[in-house]
Amino acid sequence: MTLLIDSGNTRIKLGWCHPVTGAREAMALSLRADQLDQLPALLQAHQAPLQDIKRCNGPRAIGVNVAGTHVQALIDQAMHALGLSPVRWLRSEAKAFGLRNGYKRAEQLGADRWVALLGLCDLLQNASYANHPALLASFGTATTIDMLGPVQTNERNFLGGTILPGPSLMLSSLKQNTAQLPQAHGRISPFPTDTDAAICTGVAAAQAGAVLRQWEQGRLQFGVPPLLFIAGGGRDLILPELHQQLAHHCRLINTVPPPAQNLDTPTLSGLALYASAPCR
């Protein structure tokens, strides 16, 4: 077994994967960097197969980190304490597992985005998806909206994507940078009549509009509606507004709106590909 580590800006997610059978964790473990001293107990509570991980012939821990060198050092220390060091920290590549990176400089793409797209690409192996582009919208500390093209000559292309502040960051920035606006917890409304609702509606509309923009760009580029996948902890605030905007837009263009398919841990799924191909 190999431990999988997704170190994001806010949370660290951990899973595990059998490199031969592909067997995965029942539920990913999520914690903050300041909880790493509790990692042995947390892994035990999540029934992580630590002894099997320690017996692994390949890398015992594979991860991506976008939280900076300090957090990476803390994770390395925690892995050393567990007897799993060194961690194999991944970077974005020009091509891997049937996906070609469309960034001008492949290494500039965030490793978490790259590996999440690999996880999505693996999910799309079903032949019925081959002719469809796919859009992955991930609502974390930052919101990223990334487009994959349809299969061409046995591979997909990552065309590129957008980055904007995530829902929580938008909400907190209004509180921190204005004199009178609160940390909002309002309901989304067509015409908000209180400040909390006005803020939450504005944030949801901005996020959903950004997704709709990229979805429409993909439809125009490829002539077919992209499949839509949603990830990240901030998605619950956005989904009702996104469904509404997509439904309205699709009525105008006389097409069926795509279902927004939830992905809980696409980055861990991408890391599992590397765990199963340790020679990469």
Helix (H/G/I), strand (E/B), else coil: 230: strand
Q: Give residues with Cβ within 8 angstroms of 186, minimum separation 6.
A: 192, 194, 195, 196, 197, 198, 199, 200, 201
Other CB atoms within a 10 A radius of the CB of residue 153 amount to: 4
Render 21-59 in DSSP notation, one character per residue.
T--B-SS-EEE-GGGGGGHHHHHHHTT--HHHHHT-SS-
Out of 52, 112, 122, 146, the active site residue is 112
Residue 112 annotated to the active site: yes
Four-point Cα dihedral 6, 91, 75, 88, nearest 10: 110
Amino acid sitting at position 3: L
| Residue 40 burial class via C-beta count within 10 angstroms: exposed 0-12, middle 13-18, buried 19 and up | middle
Q: Give residues with Cβ within 8 angstroms of 78, minimum separation 6.
A: 36, 37, 39
CB 264 within 8 A of CB 28: yes
Please name the residue that has the structure tokens 């693996």: 122
Give the active site residues.
Answer: 112
